[in-house]
Structure 1
Amino acid sequence: MRPPAFWSDRRGGGWPARLLSPAAALYALATARRMRRPGWRAPIPVLCCGNLTAGGTGKTTLALDLGARLLARGRAVHFLTRGYGGRLRGPLRVDPARHTAADVGDEALLLAQLAPCHVSADRAAGARAAIAAGADCLVMDDGFQNPGLHQDMPLLVIDGAGGFGSRHVLPAGPLREPVAAGCSRARAAILIGDDETGALAQLPASLPVLRADLAMQDAAPLLAGRPAVAFAGIGRPGKFFDGLRRQDITLAACVPFPDHYPYRAQDIRRLRALAARHGAALLTTAKDAIRLPNYIHRDIITIGVHLTWPQPTAPDHLLDLFANTMKTQPGP
C-alpha cells in the first residue's frame, strides 16, 4: 500500500494527524520501552544503516556502498537484514541461485550479489549465523529500531526530498520514533540528496552529518534513441522517474507501484502493451528487476544507482571509526 498523503504534509498533517495523535503517542511509547532492552553484543562489530521513517530512504544503497569499501579493506563483511517482503524468517544465508524475492525479499538478493547476506527476523540469531560462516564485521540493512542486536555504529539515513514528512510518529505520520529519540542513539546521519524539507534543522548540532547523492546509470546509450515506459515499485517511484527526466529521457509513460510490489502476470501484460503502444522500451530499477519473473528480463532495461560523495573521504573516515570498534571488541 502507498503511504497516505498527509504523512508528507510539511505543515503537520492536518486533521488526520491530530485525530491519530493518541495512537501515535502510544506507538512512540512502545518503541521507547522496546529500545531500552539491552541487545546481544556480538564479538564482531555491527554497523547499521537505518532510518527514522517508514519507506525507502536509500538504506540498501548505503549498505552496498559501505560494504564494498569494507571488502576493499580486506574485511570479511556479511550483510544482515530482516528480508522485508519475503516469507522466510530465517536465520538463513541467502542463495541467489535458489531463493527468490518472494522467499527473502528484493533487498536481500541485491546485497547477496556483493557479499554473503543473512536473513533473520531475530537479528541476534542472524548475527550468530554470520559469525559461524566467517564474518568479521556485519552491515545491517535496516533494524535501527530493533534492540535485539547491539549496534556499534548506528547510522541514520535521511532522504533529502522526503525528510521526516509531517514529523509525526506512526500512524499520524511516517516516523518510526521521534526524531530526538532516534538521534540520541545515532553515531552519524547520512543525508542523501539536497535537504528539501529542512530535515537537518531537526537534528542536534552534536550529530555528525555526511552528505551523499544518488547517481543513476546513464540510460540514454541503452535506449538508442527510443522513448521509454518507466515503472518502479520502490519507496518513492517519483525519484526514479525524475532521475530519468534529468537525463532528458523521453518518457512515454511512468507507472508507479507500491514499495516491494510483487509483480503479477497481468502487470507484465499491461506494461508490455503500454510499451508496444508507444514503441518504447521498458525501464525499471535493479530492485524491481529482482522481483520480476525471468521471462520478462529480456524485454526490460535495468537502471542501476550508486552513491557519490561530495567529500570523497567522508565515508572512509566513517569506516576508520568503525575499524576502531573492531580493535576494541571483546573476544567470543
Structure 2
Amino acid sequence: MREPDFWWRKPGIAAWLLSPLAWIYGAISGWRMRHAGWRSDVPVICVGNFTLGGTGKTPSAIAIGAILAAGGDRPFFLTRGYGGRLAGPIRVDPASHRAADVGDEPLLLARHHPTIVSRDRPAGAEMARAAGATVIVMDDGLQNPSLHKDLSIAVVDARRGFGNARVFPAGPLRAPLAMQFAQAHAILLIGKGAAAGPVSELARTYRRPLLRAQLEPARDAAKAIGRRKALAFAGIGDPEKFFMTLASAGIEATIEESFSDHHPYSEDEAARILARCESQKLVPVTTEKDAVRLFGQDGARGRLAAVAKVIPVTLILEEPDLLRKLVSKPIAGR
C-alpha cells in the first residue's frame, strides 16, 4: 500500500472524514495490546515503531544484534516475513530462499544472525530457543500481544515523526499514541528533522529513555558510483529518506522513482528502468531491500539486479553505551 500524503500533514478534511474508522481501529488495537503474551524461556527484545511505513527498524535490529553478539550472546532474529508466502516457523536460508518465500527484510537479517520467519510469533520464538538462541530480537511486533517482550524499543524517524498523529486510516499511527508509549520501554530517534523536538518532549513526558542515531550509507558503495549520475529507485516505507541519503553521500540522482513498501517489481517496470538508464547514461541505484526482491529473478529483473548499485546503510548510535545497557538488562534479569 502506498501511504497517502495527508498522513504527514496537519489534519485536514480527509483525516476528519476517516476519524470514525480510526476510532474503531484504535479501540481494537488498544484492546489487543493490553493482553498478556506467551513468555519465552529466553528474553525477547522487540524493535518496533508507532507508525505504518519505514522508520529504520531493520538496521536498528541489526545494530542491536551486533551489540548482543559482541557481549557473548547468540541472538536470533524473529520476524513475520511480510510479503513472503511461507507462514513458518521456518529458519531463513539466504542461499535458497527468495523474497517471495520469506519477505525481503528476513533475507537482510539472515546475513547477520540466524533468522526465523513465523506469523505465529510464540512458535517462532520456541524454534529459536530450541536452535540455541540466548536472546531473541523481534523485528516489528510492538502492537502484537502474542509474545511477551522483555524490552520494547520504538524507532521514530526524526523527519516525519508521528505525522498528523492520527490513527489509521486517518493517519499513520498503528494505535493511539498514549497506548503505544505505555508499551515502549525506550525511544530510538533516527536522523535529524522537525519532529525531533516534539518526539524528545513526549519521551520526557512519558519518562522513556531517548536514544539518538543516524543512518549512514556505506562509503565504499557510494565511492564506486563516483561522479556518474544515477537513477534512484526504492520501494520502501519512506523512499524520500533513501533519496536524501544518496544526496548526503554526494550521489546525484537525476531521476528518482518511488514505489510502495515491499513492492514486487514487474518485468515491465524493470525493463523501463533499464531503458531509461541506457538512454540517459544513468547508473541504477537502489536499497538493499529492493535488491533482495530482484535477486534470483529472470529476464529484465535479473538484468536489473546484476547492474544496479546497492547502497547499504548502517545505524550509527550517538550513545552506544546507553543502548548496550538497555539490551543487557533483560538478559541479566533472566
Normalized against structure 1, the TM-score is what? Answer: 0.94
User: Could you report, residue by residue, the CA deviation over 1:185-229 in whole angstroms, capped at 9, with x for unpaired residues?
Assistant: 211000001242233333324111100111112344211432111
2:201 is equivalent to residue 201 of structure 1: yes
Equivalent-residue separation in structure 2 for 1:81 and 1:312 (angstroms)? 24
- The answer on whether the counterparts of 2:181 and 2:206 sit within 8 Å (CA) in structure 1 is no
Equivalent-residue separation in structure 2 for 1:53 and 1:111 (angstroms)? 21
What residue number does 1:125 align with?
123
**Unpaired runs of at least 5, structure 2:** 297-301
- The answer on whether the counterparts of 2:217 and 2:249 sit within 8 Å (CA) in structure 1 is no
What residue number does 2:277 align with?
275
Classify the secondary structure of the residue corresponding to 1:181.
helix
Among candidates 313, 328, 331, match of residue 333 of structure 2:
328
The alpha-carbon distance between structure 1 residues 205 and 34, as it changes in their structure 2 partners (threshold 3 A), is closer
What residue number does 1:211 align with?
212
| Identity in percent | 46
Equivalent-residue separation in structure 1 for 2:201 and 2:322 (angstroms)? 21
Residues 3-82 of structure 1: matches in 2 within 5 Å? 3-9=3-9, 11-12=10-11, 14-82=12-80
CA shift, 1:41, in A, is 0.6
CA shift, 1:112, in A, is 0.6
Residues 207-286 of structure 1: matches in 2 within 5 Å? 207-218=208-219, 219-286=221-288
Equivalent-residue separation in structure 2 for 1:96 and 1:262 (angstroms)? 18
What residue number does 2:87 align with?
89
Normalized against structure 2, the TM-score is what? Answer: 0.94
User: Could you report, residue by residue, the CA deviation over 1:75-112 in whole angstroms, capped at 9, with x for unpaired residues?
Assistant: 11100001011111111111111211011110011001
Q: Report how many residues are paired.
A: 324
- The answer on whether the counterparts of 1:160 and 1:195 sit within 8 Å (CA) in structure 2 is yes
What residue number does 2:150 align with?
152
Equivalent-residue separation in structure 1 for 2:125 and 2:189 (angstroms)? 27
Equivalent-residue separation in structure 2 for 1:224 and 1:202 (angstroms)? 41
Equivalent-residue separation in structure 2 for 1:239 and 1:4 (angstroms)? 16
Taking only aligned residues, the RMSD between alpha carbons, in angstroms, comes to 1.3
Equivalent-residue separation in structure 1 for 2:173 and 2:251 (angstroms)? 34
Classify the secondary structure of the residue corresponding to 2:257.
strand
Classify the secondary structure of the residue corresponding to 1:291.
helix
Equivalent-residue separation in structure 1 for 2:222 and 2:126 (angstroms)? 45
Equivalent-residue separation in structure 1 for 2:76 and 2:42 (angstroms)? 11
Equivalent-residue separation in structure 1 for 2:209 and 2:295 (angstroms)? 42
- The answer on whether the counterparts of 1:155 and 1:188 sit within 8 Å (CA) in structure 2 is yes
Equivalent-residue separation in structure 1 for 2:148 and 2:30 (angstroms)? 16
Classify the secondary structure of the residue corresponding to 2:88.
coil
Kindly provide the amino acid, as one letter, of the partner of residue 280 in structure 1.
Answer: L
Poorly superposed stretches of 4+, deviation over 6 Å: none
